C-alpha cells in the first residue's frame, strides 16, 4: 500500500476511532499506544469546531506556521513562505496555523479568507486547523476546503508570519511538521 493509499484508507474511519487506535486505550492490543492519553497533547479540545461537517473526513501531512501582530523581529517571512512550504510538502497537506495574538483581539482575527484559501488549495492543501477564527465561509464552502477553528470573525488587521514548519500548539494539540492530521466534525488528531 502506498502512503497516498494509506491516507485515503484512513478516511474510512472517524476521528474518535483513530484516537482509539492511536492512544486512547493503551491496554488494548489493537491500540498503538503512541501517546499517554492524558498527559500528551495529540488531539484537539472543545475550543475547535469543524466549519464544514458535510465534507466528511480530511487527512493530510501537517505543514505548520505561526501568525501574530507585525513585529520588527519577525519581518522576514510572508504568506508566500507558507505557500512554498505547502507546495514542497508531501501531498495532501493540512495547514496547522497557530495564532499568537493578544487576548483582547485574538477572537477578532478572521485570518484566513477566500484569497488565502484559494492559494492554499492550488498547492494541494485540503484544510486548516487553527486556534483562532477565520472568515469568508460562504466563499470558501464551494471550494470543499475544510476548516477547524475557534469560530468566525468578519475582519482582521495587520498580521505577520512569525515561523513556518516549526512545532505548534493549536486547540490542545501539539503538532510537528510532517505528522499526519486526521480531522472531521469530532475534532482533529495527529500521529507520526
- Domain ranges in the chain? 41-191
d(Cα 24, Cα 32) in Å, to the nearest integer? 9
- Check pLDDT > 80 for residue 55: yes
Buried b (16+ CB within 10 A) or exposed e, 15-30: beebbbbbbbeeeeee
C-alpha angle 104-107-139 in degrees, rounded to nearest 5: 150
All three cell numbers of 68, joined, read 501574530
Q: Between the CA of residue 69 and those of 58, 111, 130, 160, what are the distances in Å?
A: 30, 11, 16, 6
Amino acid 37: pLDDT? 84
The per-residue pLDDT for range 143-187, each reduced to its tens digit, is: 999 999 999 999 888 899 999 999 999 999 999 999 999 999 999
Task: Using DSSP, state whether 181 is helix, strand or coil.
Answer: strand
d(Cα 139, Cα 167) in Å, to the nearest integer? 30
All three cell numbers of 108, joined, read 477578532
| Mean pLDDT, all residues of the chain | 95
The per-residue pLDDT for range 57-78, each reduced to its tens digit, is: 999 999 999 999 998 876 789 9
Confidence of residue 11 (pLDDT cuts 50, 70, 90): very high
d(Cα 22, Cα 188) in Å, to the nearest integer? 12
Q: Between the CA of residue 184 and those of 21, 104, 118, 143, what are the distances in Å?
A: 16, 29, 21, 17
Taking each helix axis from N to C terminus, what angle separates 79-88 and 114-122, rounded to the nearest 10 degrees? 30
CATH class name, domain 41-191: alpha beta
Amino acid at each position: 500500500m502506498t502512503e497516498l493509499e494509506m491516507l485515503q484508507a484512513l478516511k474510512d474511519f472517524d476521528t474518535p476511532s483513530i484516537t482509539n487506535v492511536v492512544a486512547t486505550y493503551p491496554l488494548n492490543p489493537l491500540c498503538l499506544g503512541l501517546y499517554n492519553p492524558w498527559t500528551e497533547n495529540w488531539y484537539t479540545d472543545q475550543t475547535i469546531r469543524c466549519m464544514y461537517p458535510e465534507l466528511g473526513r480530511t487527512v493530510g501531512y501537517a505543514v505548520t506556521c505561526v501568525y501574530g501582530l507585525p513585529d520588527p523581529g519577525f519581518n522576514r517571512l510572508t504568506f508566500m513562505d507558507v505557500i512554498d512550504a505547502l507546495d514542497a510538502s508531501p501531498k495532501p497537506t493540512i495547514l496547522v496555523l497557530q495564532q499568537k495574538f493578544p487576548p483582547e483581539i485574538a477572537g477578532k482575527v478572521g485570518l484566513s479568507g477566500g484569497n488565502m484559501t484559494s492559494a492554499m488549495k492550488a498547492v494541494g492543501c485540503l484544510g486548516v486547523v487553527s486556534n483562532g477564527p477565520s472568515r469568508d465561509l460562504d466563499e470558501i464552502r464551494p471550494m470543499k476546503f475544510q476548516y477547524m477553528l475557534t469560530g468566525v470573525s468578519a475582519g482582521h488587521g495587520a498580521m505577520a508570519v512569525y515561523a513556518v514548519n516549526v512545532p505548534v500548539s493549536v486547540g490542545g494539540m501539539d503538532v510537528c511538521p510532517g505528522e499526519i492530521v486526521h480531522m472531521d466534525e469530532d475534532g482533529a488528531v495527529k500521529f507520526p
